[in-house]
Structure 1
């Protein structure tokens, strides 16, 4: 595994780990959730709260969470939703719960990662300088996971070959976000509101990170703080990978372009030609993913359904962004 860089030139005493809340979203993956909670038990220092948002799981998730209540070393808050609201709804509820608990920092993550023992200390070392921070992750095989931290704003799509290296500063500015490790200050949440549950899945964290980058300097830092614990089928392109997908993802990838379009309109970042190009490139990428990674052409109907339903969202004159909390 690659070594993490030195933390920034600020004293860690400026950050109180108990002011942070880890907010986890889970759905029918109690085995993976167990690994994550075990990693939190091993953390030093620990956060003040651990929030688990359960998207109406039908497995033994409730019992698993209960088994950690006296071991976790932090106040454990469990919310089982009545229906599956998708990752978007789960993270929206997770941020709301953490915010209502009075948390200064909210660290978001899926259930298919584990936290490195000093992960919170490494993130907290950057807290005096920035208010929207993304750490680095190891992939399932122990290699450094590359995340597309910048988007081509007017097109609303990630830049797949943004430089992966860091200079001596140890950070790079980003204009995106990922709920697998986003570390965000409550003041930013107050200004931009909660993550938008209408996305259900896909583009929600990119949009939330983009909103954050409009009100603060958002950064990805050269600190390995998480490890992915689930292997995903991929196409190895040498320096980048393309993951397998699903019919649901294909649908929401295209449908949710309309929600991004609406946010762009509100924030005066919408360019019909460039955004349309971004949508076309997204469609093409999903076709490649189908053929090359999943070796099928079945599933294209979900892309077209997403475009169709997205058109209705884009024409909805009653659409409003998530409101600020302050």
Structure 2
């Protein structure tokens, strides 16, 4: 793991070319939020070379919104409208594929419910000479600091909920996870680990992808605020941390996708049946707590059990294979 011998945040960013980067956004039926994000990209300085919009078969005016920004952004816009809703996982997999095939040196992933701080790309670029898998910080909807669980208990496959939130003078902390709401990753790492796995549909996909990246390169979260969330989510304030509201679809995939994580762990030789089962049990318990204290209902538990059942089928699928590495494609320039 890298040592804090100096602070790259005060180094020159001459080794980073903003035009070599691509912002990849996934959107679905939230054109108002997408509009706000694209307006923030319009104000960026510097701007990326490309912005890729992956539309998960929206039924609103997303296409018209995107076309309205094509001449305004000052950067090349690529629009991919998918024939069906592939979930966030499928959307980010496609966005990563397009950005990689464009020859992007750096790929910055984000949902449609954030906006970019005007100098966000410059802030991330400061760290590019040193690291290849980077996560910036975010402001929450109300302007507070958004806490993200950047460390996972590897053998259990779950986030460590109370990993230290503060930074020391180095300006970064090692992470072994990932979040597609702001992941900034180099094409060399993408080539080695392949695309995000669309089979997840939603949930655990970014954690798994970040974990895979951390096995190839030192991965860090840096003390740079680069995004702001633009969608308010119902939360339970626990004092130290918040717990967000969920949905029946999320509850299902949270449990189902444990099967995919188990398969990844097996393929890489890190699977421990006892500890992984404990992680699954703790995940189930957390979702029950979320139902009762955030959403104030007991309805929805059937989705957790359905997810467990289908996750076992995935875990027992002998034909399952991890996402393959990518073929070498020349970087831009």
Runs of 4+ in 1 over 4 A off after TM superposition: none
Gaps of 5+ in 1: 1-5
Distance of 1:218 and 1:313 partners within structure 2: 29
1:13 shift after superposition: 1.1
Normalised by the size of structure 1, how large is the TM-score?
Answer: 0.98
Tell me the distance in 1 between the aligned counterparts of 2:65 and 2:97. Answer: 23
Q: How does 1:287-298 map to 2 (within 5 A)?
A: 287-298=288-299
Q: How does 1:96-245 map to 2 (within 5 A)?
A: 96-245=97-246
Normalised by the length of structure 2, the TM-score is 0.96
Deviation digits for residues 227-252 of structure 1 (CA, Å, limit 9, x no counterpart): 00000000001120000000000000
What is the match of residue 12 of structure 1?
Answer: 13
* Counterpart-to-counterpart distance in 1, 2:77 and 2:287: 39
Q: Distance in 2 between matches of 1:207 and 1:72?
A: 32
Give the aligned partner of residue 251 of structure 1: 252
Name the residue aligned to 1:35. Answer: 36
Give me the whole-angstrom Cα distance separating, in 2, the residues matched to 1:240 and 1:45.
34
RMSD: 0.7
C-alpha separation in 1, matches of 2:164 and 2:21:
30
The CA distance in 2 between the partners of 1:253 and 1:199, in whole Å, is 9
- Asked if 2 retains the 8 angstrom alpha-carbon contact of 1:172 and 1:221, the reply is yes
Q: Which residue of 1 aligns with 2:267?
A: 266
Deviations 1:291-326 (A, max 9, x none): 000000000000000000011100000000000004
1: CA distance between counterparts of 2:114 and 2:235?
18
8 A Cα contact 1:136 1:224, kept in partner: yes
Query: Residue 30 of structure 1: CA displacement?
Result: 0.1
Deviations 1:131-170 (A, max 9, x none): 0000000000000000000000000000000000000000
Matched, 1:88 2:89: yes
**Number of residue-to-residue matches in the alignment:** 321
